[in-house]
């Protein structure tokens, strides 16, 4: 089903066929289709009939023809078959031709070949846009829930930015009475592409959504850089403008008329005809439901919206240390009081990690960039929860302002327990269960990266792992263990440091590997922790590690 009646489609198809035969031998035409305003339902009396004609061995490579002896005027974009194939697979023409497959087209000749071109191009579009999502959201990209239409509308948005006159056509096609039917037509090639990407293990179907597989995310982060991606986008834009001029090279009037027409229309199209917002088609799961990526609440807006309270019922208190931008938000109602935890990944926090990265260079590679740290936190909060560990539920993510909203965990962190007036066996038990929990996490090849005692909260009989912005796969397990046992001496005397380290190591070895302890005593971590823990305390703690190895 198309936006125009079938008899009109057939009439246009016949006109396109006759026009192509005026220009090329019938056997030389590999495929032929009609597209544009006449097919998509927004044509005017002066609109041309747009025709894409793929020709075998076309020496001109690409060229416009305007046939004014037809009614309506037929605008033929002729392209060599090999050039077309190269454009849909690698953008060799800046997607100047391939991009027409993003709008509704009606096949006239070579239906199978057109379907293959359509699927191939749209598969590459999906891969390209997935790369962008991964580079922007890093590991958290695998947590995104993506509706299929996102890929169509995001690609159109990007093309409209590169070539603004196209925005008029796109907005007319994908708004108004024919939005649904035009979208369904354009999505056919995407659905074929999704099926292939699923079979290759790159996409995962999740109800009405698609998710990016962990394998896909990790391989892209290892393969693609943001700079290289931007360079490629610029090169493609340059090629598109170059090819546009080359296609009408023997008739400058053609280019002038087309540009004038598109610019004139783009100046006068209505605001309500805007393209759909792609971010409305991407979500992330939270403990309170699916959150559209475009939602970006600050603290007060979020609380007012979710809890339906006035601002005078909200109090915000900064918590944590000087370089931490973390807040406890209390919401008071008649019958209850609830807290949420909010973390901002801002410049002061960045400064802390810049210093840490410089200090630990060659031993520990800390993530410095705020976007990366936010992404790590979102991903590993969900990943550890999926594996059965206790983490603070995520309520909201503001990607633009780099803010994370979570459940506030009531309890004491490990250092608070050690320095409190709790009974000795309670403090030792806390150390033991935290050591055991760390070893269990390491069994999944996950390391915490910033494994200070303050980052583990005991709430009742549960151990909560917090502050996961430095977490990673296949990291340095010995660093995690060395940091948590040596950091004790920053707050406690040598005897208590040794005592709690002993309990923690016992817990770790109850399920963990002695190989990690071997690396702890290698000596490379002690100098790094000298600013926090005196050397003599470190030596006593490390002697305890050696005792476990004997």
CATH of the domain at 527: 1.10.510.10
Please report whether residue 531 resides in a domain.
yes
Q: Give the chain's domain count.
A: 3
Give CA–CA dist 207/399, Å, rounded. 24
Residue 427 has pLDDT above 70, yes or no: yes
123-145 burial, b for 16+ CB within 10 Å, e for fewer?
bbbbbbbbbbbbbebbbbbbbbb
Q: Identify the residue whose tokens are 């090819």.
A: 243
- Whether the predicted pLDDT of 366 surpasses 50: no
Q: Is residue 290 part of a domain?
A: no
What is the mean pLDDT of the segment spanning 160-179?
A: 88
* Domain co-membership, 380 together with 238: no
State whether 46 and 180 are in the same domain.
yes
Whether residues 208 and 267 share a domain: the answer is: yes
d(CA 145, CA 139): 14
pTM over the 0.75 mark: yes
Mean pLDDT of 419-441: 92
Give the per-residue pLDDT at 97: 94
Query: How far from 376 is each of 367, 371, 381, 446, CA to CA, in Å?
Result: 9, 9, 8, 12
Q: What is the CATH number of the domain that holds 323?
A: 3.30.200.20
Domain residues for 370? 295-407
Same domain, 312 and 259: no
420-to-277, 416, 417 alpha-carbon distances in Å? 53, 6, 5
Are 400 and 442 within one domain?
no
Judge whether 486 and 478 are in contact, CB under 8 Å: no
Give the dihedral sign, CA 488/491/496/500.
negative
The values of phi and psi at residue 91, to 5°, are 65, 35
pLDDT band at 358 (very low <50, low <70, confident <90, very high): very low
For residue range 389-404, list pLDDT tens digits in order: 999 999 999 998 999 9
Is the Cβ–Cβ distance between 507 and 501 less than 8 Å? no
Strand bridging mode 74-80 / 49-55: parallel
Average pLDDT rounded to a whole number, residues 7-13: 96
Domain-terminating residue out of 216, 247, 282: 282
Examine residue 1 and state whether it is found in any structural domain, yes or no.
Answer: no
Residues 403 and 443 in one domain: no
pLDDT over 70 (residue 252)? no
For residue 513, pLDDT beyond 60: yes
CA nearest to 35, candidates 84, 112, 100, 97: 100
Instruction: Report the pLDDT value the prediction gives residue 491, as an integer from 0 to 100.
Output: 81
Residue 487 CA to residue 526 CA, distance in Å, equals 10
- Domain shared by 91 and 205, yes or no: yes
Q: Give yes or no: residues 394 and 451 share one domain.
A: no
Under the banding of pLDDT at 50, 70 and 90, the label for residue 144 is: very high
Q: pLDDT digit string (tens) for 202-219?
A: 999 999 999 999 999 999
Hey, what are 168's tokens? 């008029």
Q: Are residues 342 and 380 in the same domain?
A: yes
The sign of the CA dihedral 26, 29, 30, 35 is: negative
Domain boundary among 365, 382, 407: 407
Domain-embedded: residue 254: yes
- Structural domain ending residue among the three candidates 389, 407, 425: 407
Is 373 domain-assigned? yes
Is residue 288 assigned to a domain? no
Q: Residue 464 is encoded by which pair of tokens?
A: 């909560």
Do 222 and 336 belong to one domain? no
- pLDDT bracket for residue 355 (50, 70, 90): very low
Can you give the CATH number for the domain in which 44 is found?
3.30.460.10
263 confidence band (pLDDT: 50, 70, 90): low
Rounded mean pLDDT, 255-277? 58
Per the model's pLDDT, the better-predicted residue between 356 and 40 turns out to be 40
Q: Do both 269 and 417 map to the same domain? A: no
Distances in whole angstroms, Cα of residue 49 to Cα of each of 72, 384, 526: 6, 56, 75
**Nearby residues of 328 by Cβ (< 8 Å), 6 or more positions away:** 316, 317, 319, 339, 340, 341, 408
Q: Is 99 a domain residue?
A: yes
**DSSP-assigned states of every residue in 90-138:** H-TTTTTTGGGGGS-EEEEE-HHHHHHHHHHHHHHHHHHHHHHHHHHHG
Confidence at 140, pLDDT banded by 50, 70, 90: very high
For the chain, the average pLDDT equals 86
Name the residue among 165, 20, 22, 16 with its Cα closest to residue 105: 16
**Which of helix, strand or coil describes residue 252?**
helix
Do 536 and 513 lie in one domain? The reply is yes
CA nearest neighbour of 245 among 96, 104, 387, 126: 96
């Amino acid at each position: 089903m198309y936006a125009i009646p079938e008899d009109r489609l057939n009439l246009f198809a016949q006109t396109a066929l006759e026009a192509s035969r005026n220009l090329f031998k019938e056997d030389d035409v590999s495929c032929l289709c009609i597209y544009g305003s006449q097919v998509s339902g927004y044509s005017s009396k002066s609109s041309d009939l747009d025709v894409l004609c793929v020709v075998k061995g076309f020496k001109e490579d690409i060229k416009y023809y305007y046939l004014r002896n037809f009614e309506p005027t037929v605008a033929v974009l002729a392209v060599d078959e090999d050039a077309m194939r190269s454009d849909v697979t690698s953008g060799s023409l800046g997607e100047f031709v391939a991009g027409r497959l993003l709008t509704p087209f009606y096949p006239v000749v070579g239906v199978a070949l057109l379907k293959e071109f359509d699927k191939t191009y749209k598969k590459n579009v999906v891969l390209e846009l997935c790369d962008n999502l991964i580079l922007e959201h890093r590991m958290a990209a695998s947590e995104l829930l993506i509706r299929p239409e996102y890929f169509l509308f995001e690609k159109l948005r990007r093309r409209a930015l590169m070539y603004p006159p196209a925005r008029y056509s796109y907005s007319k096609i994908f708004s108004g009475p024919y939005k649904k039917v035009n979208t369904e037509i354009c999505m056919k090639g995407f659905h074929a592409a999704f099926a292939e990407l699923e079979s290759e293990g790159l996409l995962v179907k999740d109800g009405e959504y698609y998710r990016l597989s962990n394998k896909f995310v990790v391989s892209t982060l290892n393969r693609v850089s943001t700079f290289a991606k931007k360079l490629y986008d610029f090169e493609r834009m340059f090629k598109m403008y170059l090819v546009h001029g080359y296609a009408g090279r023997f008739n400058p009037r053609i280019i002038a008329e087309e540009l004038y027409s598109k610019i004139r229309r783009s100046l006068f199209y209505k605001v309500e005809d805007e393209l759909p917002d792609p971010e409305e088609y991407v979500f992330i799961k939270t403990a309170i439901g699916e959150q559209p990526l475009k939602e970006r609440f600050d603290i007060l807006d979020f609380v007012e919206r979710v809890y339906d309270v006035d601002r005078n019922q909200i109090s915000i208190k900064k918590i944590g240390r000087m370089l931490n931008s973390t807040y406890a938000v209390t919401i008071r109602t008649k019958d209850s009081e609830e807290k949420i935890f909010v973390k901002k990944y801002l410049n002061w926090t960045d400064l802390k990690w810049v210093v840490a990265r410089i200090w630990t260079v060659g031993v520990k590679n800390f993530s410095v960039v705020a976007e990366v740290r936010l992404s790590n936190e979102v991903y590993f909060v969900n990943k550890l929860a999926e594996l059965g560990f206790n983490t603070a539920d995520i309520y909201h993510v503001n990607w633009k302002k780099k803010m994370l909203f979570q459940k506030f965990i009531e309890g004491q962190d490990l250092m608070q327990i050690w320095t409190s007036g709790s009974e000795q066996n309670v403090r030792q038990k806390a150390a033991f269960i935290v050591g055991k929990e760390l070893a269990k996490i390491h069994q999944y090849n996950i390391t915490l990266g910033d494994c200070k005692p303050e980052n583990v909260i005991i709430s009742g009989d549960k151990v909560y792992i917090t502050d996961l912005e430095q977490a990673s796969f296949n990291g340095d397990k010995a660093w995690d263990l060395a940091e948590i046992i040596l950091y004790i001496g920053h707050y406690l005397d040598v005897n208590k440091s040794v005592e709690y380290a002993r309990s923690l190591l016992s817990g770790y070895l109850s399920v963990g590997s002695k190989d990690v302890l071997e690396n702890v005593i290698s000596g490379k971590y002690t100098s790094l922790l000298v600013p926090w823990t005196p050397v003599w305390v470190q030596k006593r703690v490390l002697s305890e590690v050696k005792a476990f190895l004997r």
